[in-house]
Amino acid sequence: MINYSTPDLSQHPPRSLRVRIGGYAHLARLLDKARAVIAGKAGDFHYNCPLDKLFFTFTGITEDVMLAEIKTGKTDLQILTWVNERSNRAPHEVIAWSAWLEQVGPGGAEGHEWAASVIKGNKSERDDIRSFADLLDFDDYHSYGGKA
């Protein structure tokens, strides 16, 4: 059974970017990575990656302040309440931002080259991966034993 209070990301991936907490895409994944970093079990995952930074920019919360709050041991719901108290985003903004985040892709040539290297590195011929969410789900699945 997976313990999401102290996830071991060397044994299983963090939750998908698509899992929403309070309407926020990526928050569950960010929390899993932060808790794993705190527990010393982050594996190859990084807290404050570019997608985490998009969350921080959107909410106006800094990565250091967020990590300090997560270190207090709060649950997902308690962190959500804390985020909502600090962010001035209306529910419709959270919904729109989350929908955008699920669809955003690599952007320029360098990003596309990196995405292609992940797909090729997993020895896949898939041509349906368009967004970072698609790419992360694919890479997490494959990295933990799934067949491409």
Note the Cα 58 to chain centre separation in Å.
14
Q: Please state, in angstroms and rounded to a whole number, the distance separating the CA atoms of residues 137 and 13.
A: 9
For residue range 88-123, list pLDDT tens digits in order. Answer: 999 999 999 999 999 998 888 888 888 888 888 777
Residues contacting 137, CB < 8 A, separation 6+:
16, 17, 18
Express each pLDDT in 26-76 by its tens digit: 999 999 999 999 999 999 999 999 899 999 999 999 999 999 999 999 999
Structure tokens at 28: 């569950």
For residues 28 and 21, the answer to whether their CB atoms sit within 8 Å is yes
